[in-house]
Structure 1
Amino acid sequence: MKMLRGVGIPLTVGMAGLLSGCGTSYDLPGVDDAVNARANAMFAQAKAAPPRAAATPAAGAARFQRVASRVQPVAERLCNAELAEKGADCRVQLGLDMQRTDRNAYFTYAGPGNGNPVIRFTVPMLQDVESDDEVAFIMGHEYGHLIGQHIVKQQQQAVAGALILGAITAYGNAQAASAGQSYDPNAVSRNMEIGAAVGSKAYSQTYELESDMLGTRIAMAAGYDPVKGAQFFARDEAARSRNGQLSFWGTHPADSRRLAVVLATVDQVKAGPADRE
């Protein structure tokens, strides 16, 4: 059992928790019928909530800075503990995206070679949240994408998908040529693009759940309530904004399973590790 260093919250890794290939790195907590029932009730309540009154940009920015000062040290310690051997850059630049007008928060890399990781919140997003718990959970969730190495894995999946479908197509072309049959000389490059697109989408839903689990642990370790925070994900919002951009709910689709993972993770943390090394 590996511990989240500095905060005493266990995080299962190692041979038992490590999954093969480009899948998730950690086991998700088990979800029983009781947890599912709680999640469904919370999901329905969150979706039925009335529209929110927008906070001022200044109030949203102040909330962001307040939460970041507590979440960032916790998340960075976990990131360094988990990814030190891989040489990953855990020095995330937290900040506001002043250009985008949609309600969103996202993780990406600003530098070459998956360097210079950044997490950005748009101003409209911060105007829409109602509590520090919501900002903390969303921030922890985005850190989860870094710790889970999801962008890196999607890149690997895209390459694998391109090579596999390209190789299959090339073999088919070679067979056709040897038989004196016609074939499409552009099929290999076209199918490699298709394979890359399909490969990059693999595990995407599971990655979101893994980030929910990691975000729950980060928020709890920073002193926030991830259950209250996660209800923000259940909002009944459009997947796209008026200008056609994917909104936060377009890239983080609302689903009661997400709340179930959060609830199960909280129960798991409160129960404590079954054993300690």
Structure 2
Amino acid sequence: MRKLALACLVALTACGAPPTTNSPTPARPAPADSANRIPTSRAVANFKAVVADVEPVAERECRARARGLNCDFRIVVDDRPNQPPNAFQTVDKAGRPILAFNLALIADVRNRDELAFVMGHEAAHHINGHLGRQQTNAMTGALILGGLAAITGASQGAVRTATDLGASVGARSYSKDYELEADALGTVITKKAGYNPVRGAEYFTQIPDPGDRFLGTHPPNAQRIETVRRVSNSM
């Protein structure tokens, strides 16, 4: 569970990309000029410590909140070169949850609190069932727009285009809510693991603020930080 990710990071060798189906919207990447950064030995040590602290807490919260859900998190490192800092959650073909972090993100975070918060946030996506809900929304959107195009007598190509657009709109329609839900539960996981989620959420100050764009995948950074403060203060 933990050994694969840590062995890969320490040696900085290829672990390969994690097995995926579809994943919820990944953590919004930082600017591309961070893409070539390699974790220092201190960053590697921080990653080890955070995995050891956060993973068991995330699994306990998962089992307490989502009965019947696979809570055996597998943490892996995506070591593809020239990638902007990123983390994401997905599941493998057997349904086991995967939390993936690339080298640039591990190098980019400024402290253990930020890394713990990102890890808690991604675990929360799985616990809250966001992947399945996003897939359902995408399917619904595809059926609606594709069906409307077919009813109007559109060509097969136009129907396919409408179906693809509907899937995209459907998948994105609730993504801001999902991100805020993951921020809230991620705050709980981070704090229970012994880290400061408010300090961890300061990672948002390093990445572009999406504002409140129509169908944007992430909510405004200020709204996310306020969510973290509110949940943390209530604990």
Q: 1:73 to 1:262 in 2, by over 3 A?
A: same
Whether the aligned pair in 2 keeps the contact of 1:170 and 1:188 (CA below 8 Å) is yes
- Give the TM-score normalised by structure 2: 0.74
CA drift of 1:171 comes to 2.6
Question: 1:162-241 alignment to 2 at 5 Å?
Answer: 162-173=142-153, 183-237=154-208
Specify every segment of 5 or more residues in structure 2 that has no aligned partner in the other structure, as ranges.
Answer: 1-33, 211-215
CA drift of 1:131 comes to 1.5
Secondary structure class of the residue paired with 1:88: coil
Secondary structure class of the residue paired with 1:63: helix
- Give the number of equivalent residue pairs: 194
Whether the aligned pair in 1 keeps the contact of 2:39 and 2:104 (CA below 8 Å) is no
1:151 aligns with 2:131: yes
1:108 aligns with 2:90: yes
Question: 1:112-123 alignment to 2 at 5 Å?
Answer: 115-123=95-103
Secondary structure class of the residue paired with 2:155: coil
Q: Show the counterpart of 1:74.
A: 57
Secondary structure class of the residue paired with 1:261: helix
- Separation (CA, whole Å) in 2 of partners of 1:198 and 1:257: 22
- Separation (CA, whole Å) in 2 of partners of 1:141 and 1:133: 12
Q: Percent identity?
A: 38
CA drift of 1:118 comes to 1.0
Cα RMSD after superposing both structures: 2.5
Specify every segment of 5 or more residues in structure 1 that has no aligned partner in the other structure, as ranges.
Answer: 1-50, 174-182, 240-249, 270-277
1:96 aligns with 2:77: yes
Q: Show the counterpart of 1:44.
A: none
Whether the aligned pair in 2 keeps the contact of 1:100 and 1:122 (CA below 8 Å) is no
CA drift of 1:91 comes to 1.0
Secondary structure class of the residue paired with 1:118: strand
Whether the aligned pair in 1 keeps the contact of 2:176 and 2:217 (CA below 8 Å) is no
- Computing the radius of gyration from Cα coordinates, the structure with the larger value is 1
- Separation (CA, whole Å) in 1 of partners of 2:81 and 2:74: 17
- Separation (CA, whole Å) in 2 of partners of 1:153 and 1:142: 15
CA drift of 1:170 comes to 2.7
